Chains A and B, each alone.
Chain A
Amino acid sequence: MWKYICKRIAVLIPLVFLVSFIVYALMDFAPGDPVRSLVGENMTEEQLEQKREELGFNDPLIVRYGRYMKGVFQGDFGKSMYGGKDVLTEYMSRLPYTLKLAGLAILLTIIIAIPLGVIAAVKHNSWIDTIASTTAMMGLSIPGFWLGLMLMLLFSLQLEWLPTSGAEDGIKSYIMPAITLAVANASLSTRTTRSSMLDQIRADYLRTARAKGVNEKTVILKHALRNALIPIITIIGSQFTVMFSGAVVVESVFSWPGVGNLTLTAIRGHDITAATSYAILTTVLTAVTLLAVDVLYAYIDPRIKAQYTGK
C-alpha cells in the first residue's frame, strides 16, 4: 500500500512542472505590460524601465521561469507584485476559509444526498422518489451564483436574518455560501446514490442473500450501501476538487475571503508570480485530496486495495 502512495506522491513533481509552466507561460503571453499595470500613470518612461529592470522583467521567459521554479522548490513562492506581500503566507491565511466552506458544503451534501438517494432508491417510483429526483434535477439545473443571489435577496435583504457577506459572523455567514456551493453537488450525489443503489438492489448477490433469508434492512444497509459507496465517494471526491476552484463565483457573490478570489485577483492584476503560485498550491492540494479519496476506496473495498498493491 505504501508503495502505491509513494508512487502517487512522486507524480506530484511532473504535475507541478506542468501546471506552473502552463500558467506562467500563458500569463506571460497575455497582452499588456505587468509593470505598467502596476505603476499606472505615475512614472516617466525612464522610471518605468528602471522598475522593469529591478523586477527582473527584461530577462527572457525561460530565465524568469527557471528563477521562479528554483525558488518554489526551496519553499519560496515569491512575492505579490501588488504590495509585496509574501504569496505563501497570503494563501495559507485564506486557505482555512476555503477549507471550512468546502467542508461544510460536503457535509451538507453527504447529510442530504445519501439518505435521500437511498430512500428514493428503496421506495422506487413512489412520491418520495419523484420529489427527490425532481428536486435533484432542478438543483442540478440551477446556476449556483444565481441561487446565491436569490438567497441573499430573500434572507439578507428582505428578511434580514443572515449577513450579506463576509465570514465574520460565525456560523451565520457560512449558511448561504455553503448551501449555494452544496446544491449542485448534492443534486448530483443524490442522483448517483439513487442509481447506484438501484443497481445494487437488483444485483444477483442480493437475491442470494434474500433467498438465504437475511433481513431486508440488513441486506440494504450492509451489502447494498457498502457497494454503492464507491461511486458515491467518487462523486464526493471529485466535488471536493471542484469546490476549490468552483468556489470562485460563490466567493465573488458573498465576498468570501477564500483562495479562489485570491487567484482570480492575481490573474486579473497580471501578477504572474502570485497567479502561478496559487495555481500550483491549489493543484497540489487537489491531487492530495484525490489521493486521500483513493486510499479511502482501498479501505472500503479490498478488491480495489488488491488492484493498487497487486499487479
Chain B
Amino acid sequence: MKKLLAILLCACMILSLAACGGKEEEAPAPEDTKTPEEAVQSGEAKIAETLVIGYDNDLDSADPYGSTSSQCAWYTNATFRTLVKSDYDTGELVGVLAESWNDVNGDATIWELKLLEGVKFHDGSTLDAEDVKFTWEYAKDAANVVKPIASADDMVKEVIAVDDQTVQFVLNYAIPDFISYLEIKIYSKDAFDSMDPAEAGLIGCGPYKVGELVSGVSYALERFDDYYEGTEQFPTKTIVCKAFSDNNSAVAALQAGEISYCFRLPAASYRTLDSDSKVNLVTRPGVMSYYIGINHRKAVWQDVDMRLALAKAINRDDIINVVFEGGITASRSDNFCIASGKGHDASVKAPAYDVDGAKALLEKCGKVGQEVKIMATASAGSKDMGEVVQANLNAAGFNATIDLVDGTNWTELKKTGDYDIFVGDYCSYSGALLYNFNRFFSDGGTSNMFDFHSDEFMEAIDKVRACATYDEMVAEFSNLQVWVAENVPLIPVAVNTAFAGARTNVGGIKLAPSDNLQEVCYLYATE
C-alpha cells in the first residue's frame, strides 16, 4: 500500500512538470537600445577581445584542401585568401589576390593574372606566382588532397610563373569565363618547402591564423596582424567556435548566452529565436537548393512522360508549408538555375502542380499505381520532405514508400542504391555559368550520380560553350534552362533562406547564403 502511494506521488510530480511547459510572454525590449555599430562609434561600448560562436560540427581539418566539410570551408575563409571572388550579392567577379587579369591572345586560351604585392603569409613569406603555380599543381592531384581544384576536367594545360607577380594559365581549349574558376585558396610554397605538409597546409594569408584547436570542444582563430589589408575591419582578436553535437544544443546555448552567434540553426528554431528578445535573427536568400532526384538507371524513369507525371504530382507549396515553416526558411524554386544564380532566366518554370495532369499521364503510360521508392536521410529536413512527397505522390495515383538511410553513405547510395527518387540538396553557388548544369547532367559529371544521359542535352550545353562572348553564352544558357525544365532530369523544389542568430550585442554580421561561404572575420561583440 505504501509503495503504491509513493508511486502515485511521484507520478503526480512528473505530471505537474509536464503542465508547466512553455515560456511565458517575454517583456518587450526597452526602447532606446543602440545597435552595436552605433554603440562603438559613439564610444559608449568597448569591443570584446574574444568572441564565442557555435557550430554543430567539430573542425576536422584546418587545411582548405584537406576536407570537404562546411566547417573546414568557412574556417579557412578566415585563414586563407583566393585569387578572385564572386560577390554573392552582386554576382560580380572581383579580384582578391589577383589585381587584374587579361586574355593574352584574345581567344580565351591563355589567361594572365597580375598578383598583389606585399601580401604576407602567416609564416612570414610573401605571395608570388610560384605559390599560385604550386597550389594549382598540388591541389589538382587527388593523391595529395581530399578536395581537389574545382576544375575536375582537364581545362588547364600548364601554369607558368612568368615573374614574381605574374602568372599565366595556358588552357587546352577556349574558356571565356575561365577566371570564374579561380576562386581557389592559395597555399604558401615556402611553407611546404620548410615544413611538414600537415602543418604547411594550414598556412594562408587571411586576416586570421589558426588558433587553439581542442578536439571535440572548440576551434579558434587568432587575428593575424600582418594582414595585407590591415586589421581595422577585424575588431575581434580571438574568435572561438564551440563544437556542439547537434544544432539543437547550439540553439539552447545561444538563448542562454553561452555563444554569441550561430549561422547553422535548425529551421524549427526560427520561431523560438524570433520571440527571444535577446537574440536577433538575420536572414537572406540562400544558395542551398533542394530537389528531388530521379534514378535514370531504371527504365520506367527514362520515359519523359513518367518524369513529367512525377513533377506534376509534387506540390511545392505543401513542402514549403510543412518543411520550411510556410516559406520562412526556404522559398520555392521552379528552375534548376536558382534565382540568384548567374544567367538565371526568370521566365523559365518547371511543370506546375497539376494532380489531374499527373493522373492523366500515368494512365497514358499505363502505369497507374506505379511504385516509387523514395530515398531520404534521417535528418529532419530530408525526412520531412520525403514524407510530404510521399503523400503527394500517393494522392496522384502512385504507390510511394520511403526508405531512410544513413547520411554518411549518401553519395555512394545515390550512385548504387535501389531507389526511384531521392531527396537531395546541393550548394548551387558558383561563379561559373555552366558549373552546376555540367556536373549534374553531363555524361560523367561528378554530381551525375543518377546516370542521367541525353544526347540532346550534350548538344545544348556544347552550344553554350561554343559561344564566343560571355553575353552570347548567357543568351544560349536560357535555352538550356528551358530544355531542363521541360525534360525533367530532376525536380527543383526550393532554395533555403539562410538565417543566423546573434545576441543583441554582436555587430559586423555579414551573412553569406550558405555555410561554406560564411565570413566570420568581421564579427565582434560589445561589452
Contact = CB atoms under 8 A, between A and B. Distances in A.
Direct contact of A and B (CB under 8 A): yes
B271 interface: no
A160 B254 CA distance: 12
A93 B449 CA distance: 39
Given A40-B411, A254-B249, A82 B217 contact: no
B340 interface: no
Given A50-B142, A134-B3, A43 B244 contact: no
A208 interface: no
A149 to B, nearest CB: 10
A42 B149 CA distance: 9
Interface string A62-83: 0000000000000000001011
A154 B142 contact: no
A32 to B, nearest CB: 3
Contacts, number: 157
A45 B72 CA distance: 24
Contact of B217 (A41, A48, A54, A166): A166
A257 B61 contact: no
Interface string B118-152: 00000000000000000000000011001110101
B143 A54 contact: yes
Interface in A42-62: 42-45, 47-48, 50-51, 54
Contacts of A97: 216
Interface in B209-249: 214-218, 242-246, 249
Contacts of B142: 39, 43, 47-48, 50-51, 54
Contacts of B454: none
Given A33-B412, A257-B216, A261-B216, A43 B249 contact: no
A21 B166 CA distance: 55
Given A43-B142, A50-B143, A255-B243, A268 B17 contact: no
Interface in B252-299: 252-253, 255-256, 258
Interface in A189-220: none
A54 B10 CA distance: 60
Interface stretch (A10-18, A125-133, A297-305): A125-133
B409 A37 contact: yes
A85 to B, nearest CB: 7
A39 B143 CA distance: 12
B352 interface: no
B162 interface: no
B447 interface: yes
A270 B61 CA distance: 17
Contacts of B17: 150, 154
A210 to B, nearest CB: 28
A13 B142 CA distance: 38
B66 interface: yes
A251 B23 CA distance: 26
Contacts of A262: 216
Range of interface residues on chain B?
35 or more
Size bin of chain A's contact surface: 35 or more
A1 interface: no
Contacts of B102: none
B411 A36 contact: yes
A309 to B, nearest CB: 43
Interface in A165-183: 165-169
A285 interface: no
B444 interface: yes
Interface in B398-429: 406-413, 415, 426
Given A36-B412, A51-B143, A134-B10, A82 B252 contact: no
Interface of B: 2-3, 6-7, 10, 17, 23, 59-61, 63, 66-69, 72, 142-143, 146-148, 150, 152-153, 198, 214-218, 242-246, 249, 252-253, 255-256, 258, 406-413, 415, 426, 439, 444, 446-447, 449
12 contacts: A37-B412, A42-B147, A43-B142, A43-B152, A44-B444, A44-B446, A164-B249, A166-B244, A256-B245, A261-B245, A268-B408, A270-B408
Given A82-B61, A165-B252, A257-B243, 10 more contacts: A39-B146, A40-B411, A41-B446, A43-B152, A83-B59, A83-B61, A94-B216, A97-B216, A127-B2, A268-B406
